[in-house]
Each structure stands twice: as structure tokens, then as C-alpha cells.
Amino acid sequence: MNDRILKSAFDLTEQTALITGGGTGLGLGMAHCLVAAGAKAVLVGRRKSELDKAVAVLGKNASALVGDVTKLESTPTLVEQAEKMAGPVTILINNAGVHLKKPATGTSDTEFANVLQTHVFGAFALTREVGRRMIERRNGCVLFTASMASFMGLPQIVAYTTAKSAYLGLVRALAAEWGPHGVRVNAIAPGWIDSDMLDQALRGDPSRKAKIISRTPLGRFGEPDDIGWAAVYLASPAAKFLTGVVLPVDGGAAIGF
């Protein structure tokens, strides 16, 4: 196998990725890697200032689109705007999310519904809209950002765990239904990734940090580009026969003890 074939297997040139929650955190980490692989990236989020900063770092192949995935009625317009900016969306990454840390008995119906509105209803509405277009073109890749909470019970995040577990069903159902139309559907389940969000979660709680590290076979936290390169692989020709998969990128945490 020569270098040209190897490079083309992971080449995303002429691909357009729509990334929700793309201005910060894992969304931005995935955008960095996708752009490095040649893709154009449209970053969607609610905070224009964060999106603008991200685009300034990513360069000319990135653009920003202010939008809220929970506003389901605006989903078709959001997709139309994205395609006018950067061309047909061939890669969709459902990464937008909210977190709620509360005991189950103290989680209200409204709080529970709000978490599902973003992760499940918002992601499905966007996937349905983009998926229609991908099916017409008989080409596309959809990725969901799952979680360790998709696999294991974690206390005090019942709404988040429910939402991330729902992704497993979405991936399987959509992969089975859309595969014959040339559209692949997969998910990445990040482990504990070094980020501002993780730093805030673990600040002042050394015992929790030690517990996470102790059950992670590789003995460290991941980095945003660990998730980003996994996204590049799943979206690339190298993964052309891969669909319906939830890929843990977690240093072994899901199987560690």
C-alpha cells in the first residue's frame, strides 16, 4: 500500500461537517481534527462569541452558525443556512448537550425533560432533517456523542444517563434503516477527557479523580484530539463498512475495574 492510498483513506477533502456544540470542548476538538483532515466545518451553538473565537482559530475552512437545537421548529432553516454557507452536509455530529447533576429524587419533571430535549429530541430533529438530504444524495455520515453513562450507572445524573443511553437505540435503528441508502450512523463514547469542564467537575474532589484514574487501564485522562481523530476515522472512507457502532474512546474505562 503506497502513501497516496493511505492518505486518501482518511481524507475528508470536499466534505462538509455540521457540528453542534462546536464552539468549545469536545465539539471544538473534533472540528480541529476534521478541518486538519480537509473538511469544512460549520460550528453550531448558542454563544456567538465562543463560535467566533473557534472559527478564528480553525481558519478559512470553518464557519459559525448561531442556533439552538432545542428549537425544533427552526431545524430546517438551520440546515438550509449551513448548506448555503459550506455546501451539502455530508457529516453530521450531534454533540450539543447539557448536564444536570442532581439526585434522582430531587430531579423535577421539567429538569428531566430539558435534558432530553437537547440530547434526544434536538439531535433527532436535526438528524432527521439532514438525513433526508443524505438519503437523497445516497451519501452521508452521522455521529452522536455518547458517553460512559451510555454503558454504566453513574449516580446523580439520571437525566443525562437516560439521554445518552437513548443514543444507543438511535444509532442502531437509524443505521439499520438508512444503511441501504448509503448513510452510515455511529457514535463515539468519550471517557474522561482533560478539559475545562472536567477540571470544574473534579476541582476540590481528589478522591473522585483518583477513582477515575484507578479504573482506567491506561491510567490517565484523554485529550480532545483523541475524540477528534476517532471522529475523522468514523467519517472517513477508512470506515466505509462501519455502521451501527458505539465506539468507546476512554482509555479502557468501560472495561476497567
**Residue 91 · residue 140 · CB < 8 Å:** yes
Residue from 112, 124, 151, 160 carrying the catalytic annotation: 160
Per the annotation, the verdict on 167 as an active-site residue is no
Phi first, then psi: give them for residue 220, nearest 5 degrees: -160, 170
Sheet holding 246-249, edge to edge: 62-66, 40-45, 16-20, 91-94, 140-145, 183-190, 246-249
Place of cell 455546501: 87
**Residue 12 · residue 34 · CB < 8 Å:** yes
Annotated catalytic residues are: 160
